[in-house]
Chain A
């Protein structure tokens, strides 16, 4: 575009003015502008994958408890945090000679809502949903076997022994609490700190 004509110059100046005004207007916040975030799709290479098998012996279980109806369980940052913590817990299990299981509990009334909620958090070896606070996972990890704070979201890591995975008589016994974190702030803080856990008892070797 040639600016040597008066008309073009005015058009040019007008365009610059409009652009500048709009920029200042938007930058100052006076003009509502949509927030756009761009997120590159991350590789699923490091995503947790269940082993689809069970072996008798010591096992470390990572339990996530949430709900589709709980605002804090639906914070946008939470799925990524839980996925990272699952991987961290699995490493801890492997380094201590234990098998690992990731368990998802959604204390929704509607099963489909609970499954949709858990789907955001990657894969689990086992999921439980339905019946709200009477959900068997909620009862086990917040009320009955390992009672604690009845609140979501929550992460519970337990050390336990799997029996009879060779189909001679299944059972899970001696379940002990390793870590419990309640609420998004505690979970986030724990992740930021590297998800430290108390050292696990060594797994007896075959000769012991």
Chain B
């Protein structure tokens, strides 16, 4: 999933209502984050991934080069046209095994379905609070059974939709009390990455059964006594690799990635060498100040699973001008490729657009400026699993 940071990246004033911590810790002191405690040293991780083009002949290296050389072959969305041709805003995209695209539109609050050739099939949803309606849909994923799962950030719930003939029927709504979630599925389970308001210490990854019951939680959270900072800096993104049987998790604002087994056992830790986190000040009154415009900084925008056990990570690099004026989301978007089994990674480059899904031969990217458009790329997967 690619985090569009719908609100934080807009030149707009937004509500803080969905980010307040439930706690107000006593005796707080002013603190500067991220702390060294939360960023392991290079020696303490399994892999440190540099920001330079890889030279090597392993499948990892070859795949990285092939991704950077991907060629655009099509697009969906128009500046002006019919309702179906004009996308409101791309929030997320999921793919089906047959090449079907499920586009989550954050302005029209609906799921738009396109066939493998990019032709519009149908849409469902709409703005609202009732069945099949969304308030602020942010993430979509598809499980092995073909169900669609959509996280509605404003409702604090994800909705499950099952296919019935040619349409989708809402079968379940599962509430979670979390902010900024991300989803992926593996072996029939749903892995929800989010910081639980009021109880963030339980873990950052929450496992739900196929019927939507919370089974357990695991995963690293940001360590601090400051509740607001802990909640905010615990946010992150997640990707599930079926081939590697690994859940890869990372924080938006920290350089570290973690690989877990489906049961929550830590397999590896990796780190991005060139990542510069922005400074967050924890205030004594419980609030937090984000020094976005102080220096250049990075933020993990999203992760996407790639067939045969790989994960693509995209990191946005922002200058102070980007963060203050918000005319550009970022100055550069860096892509890294990791082997989900081991955590080994290489730098792909900065030429790829925001990527939402990758199949064996297609990259599904999306941009919202100058107008929302899905961009479809072709690449040649070298085959061969990650070790």
* Chain A interface residues toward B at CB < 8 A: 67, 69-73, 75, 133, 143-154, 177, 179-180, 182-186, 189, 193-194, 196, 198-199
Contacts and interface: CB of A to CB of B under 8 A. Distances in A.
Contacts of A153: 12
A70 to B, nearest CB: 4
Interface in B1-33: 6-7, 10-15, 17
Contacts of A72: 11-13
Contact of A198 (B11, B86, B370): B86
A193 B127 contact: no
Contacts of B109: 147-148, 177
A154 B12 contact: yes
Contacts of B127: 145-148, 177
Find the residue from A67, A182, A189 having the highest chain B CB count within 10 A: A182
B243 to A, nearest CB: 36
Nearest to A75: B11
25 contacts: A67-B13, A72-B11, A145-B128, A147-B128, A147-B135, A148-B107, A148-B109, A149-B136, A150-B15, A150-B136, A151-B10, A152-B12, A152-B13, A177-B108, A177-B127, A179-B88, A179-B107, A182-B10, A182-B107, A183-B11, A183-B12, A189-B371, A196-B79, A196-B80, A198-B81
B136 A189 contact: no
Nearest to A196: B80
Contact of A150 (B14, B86, B128): B14
Interface string B62-99: 00000000000000000111110010100000000000
A133 B14 CA distance: 10
Contacts, number: 96
Contact of A185 (B10, B79, B82): B10
Nearest to B327: A185
B79 A193 contact: yes
Given A70-B13, A183-B10, 6 more contacts: A70-B12, A145-B128, A147-B109, A150-B17, A151-B15, A196-B80
Contacts of A75: 11
Interface in B353-387: 369-371
B326 interface: yes
| Chain B interface residue number, banded | 20 to 34
B326 A183 contact: yes
A89 to B, nearest CB: 15
Closest 8 CB pairs of A and B: A183-B10, A70-B13, A196-B80, A183-B12, A151-B12, A198-B83, A147-B135, A151-B14
A183 B107 CA distance: 13
A193 B370 contact: yes
B10 A148 contact: no
B211 interface: no
A162 B370 CA distance: 34
A148 to B, nearest CB: 6
B11 A193 contact: no
Given A148-B136, A151-B14, A196-B80, A189 B370 contact: yes
B100 to A, nearest CB: 23
B204 to A, nearest CB: 25
B209 interface: no
A128 B88 CA distance: 26
B11 A185 contact: yes
A177 B128 CA distance: 11
B129 interface: yes
B154 interface: yes
B72 to A, nearest CB: 22
B106 interface: yes
A41 B369 CA distance: 33
B330 to A, nearest CB: 14
Contacts of A151: 7, 10, 12-15
A179 B129 CA distance: 19
Contacts of B82: 198-199
B157 to A, nearest CB: 13
A119 to B, nearest CB: 19
A109 to B, nearest CB: 14
Nearest to A199: B82
Nearest to B329: A185
Interface in B88-139: 88, 106-109, 127-129, 134-136
A185 B326 contact: yes
A149 B108 CA distance: 11
A182 B12 contact: yes
Contacts of A196: 79-80, 86
B12 A133 contact: no
B129 A147 contact: yes
A63 to B, nearest CB: 13
Nearest to A185: B11
A124 B331 CA distance: 39
Contacts of A69: 13
Contacts of B107: 148, 177, 179-180, 182
